[in-house]
Amino acid sequence: MRLFTGSAVVTGAGSGIGRSIAHALATRGLGVVVADVELAAAEAVSSEIAAAGGRAIPNQVDVRDLAAMEAMADRAEAEFGPTSVLVNNAGVTLRPFRASWDTNYDDFRWMFDINWWGVVHGHAAFVPRMLAGSGDRHIVNTASTAAIHPFAGHSSYSASKAAVDGFTIAVRAELEAAAEGFGASVLFPGPIKTRITSSARLRPTAEAEASTSVKPWSDYTGDTRRSQLVETAHVDGELPHRASNPAEVIDADAVGGIVLNGIDRNQPYILTHPPHEDRITMRRDQLLSAEPR
């Protein structure tokens, strides 16, 4: 078990995966900054942690705002001491699923501003400070299985999460060379009960309405039932051929322990479900067959 001290910061911690991770980190004696764009949600989770005997403060933050992230880094250190664990978890998705050519520019920008730039802003605000410290330190960035498996109809989301994946693994290699005891992991959530499918609530009304009034991907596939199963599965990166099995969907409360175990083991990849070996093997074989002859 690694020894973390001071503060832990979790974005998107007002519900779902982030909430579960915040609770898990609090059990290790860390002062947790429960960060969320919705203040009431952050306050509720902070109160839950306090009621369980932990230490936490709510912090309303929009991860698209670098200055706000830097201010949160200041607050975390002032309240609980230097940050030793950072979890860039805040993320959004689009509903209904749609083809890349039916995804408008505002949708692409919104997706990347939160899913990608939110991670970059967290990295910029916290990692230089964490590097100045010592002892065990760790970053977790939430990606998605949509980053590594074909996910037709959700290309903008897949792209934003693939950026998080590639970035985090490169960062891990950098940290291994530059700092002892400083690790980084990519979290790949599977089918998990969260509020991510209601992400549109975070957008201006007109923008949200424009995004939902789009030709759905199911119009191209003709499989409306399966599309509905996937789109209402409240998950990051659910695959169509898996969505029809409700037994695979787990409650978000289980994720915190999984992530904490992954952090303790300094795993490069943290999965909430067994990997889709067939999809991984298919991609491996396609890559190997593309070798120049």
Which residues have a catalytic role annotated? 157
Judged by DSSP in three states, 23 sits in helix
**Of 134, 141, 145, residue with least CA distance to 172:** 141
CA distances from 198 to 78, 104, 143, 233 (A): 34, 19, 18, 11
Q: What is the 3-state secondary structure (H, E, C) of the chain?
A: CCCCCCEEEECCCCCHHHHHHHHHHHCCCCEEEEEECCHHHHHHHHHHHHHCCCEEEEEECCCCCHHHHHHHHHHHHHHHCCEEEEEECCCCCCCCCCCHHHCCHHHHHHHHHHHCHHHHHHHHHHHHHHHCCCCCEEEEEECCHHHCCCCCCCHHHHHHHHHHHHHHHHHHHHHHHHCCCEEEEEEECCCEECCHHHHHHHCCHHHHHHHHCCCCCHHHHCCHHHHHHHHCCCCCCCCCCCCCCHHHCEEHHHHHHHHHHHHHCCCCEEECCCCCHHHHHHHHHHHHHCCCC
Residue 235, CA atoms < 13 Å, CB-side half-sphere: 28
* Cβ-contact 41, 11 below 8 angstroms: no
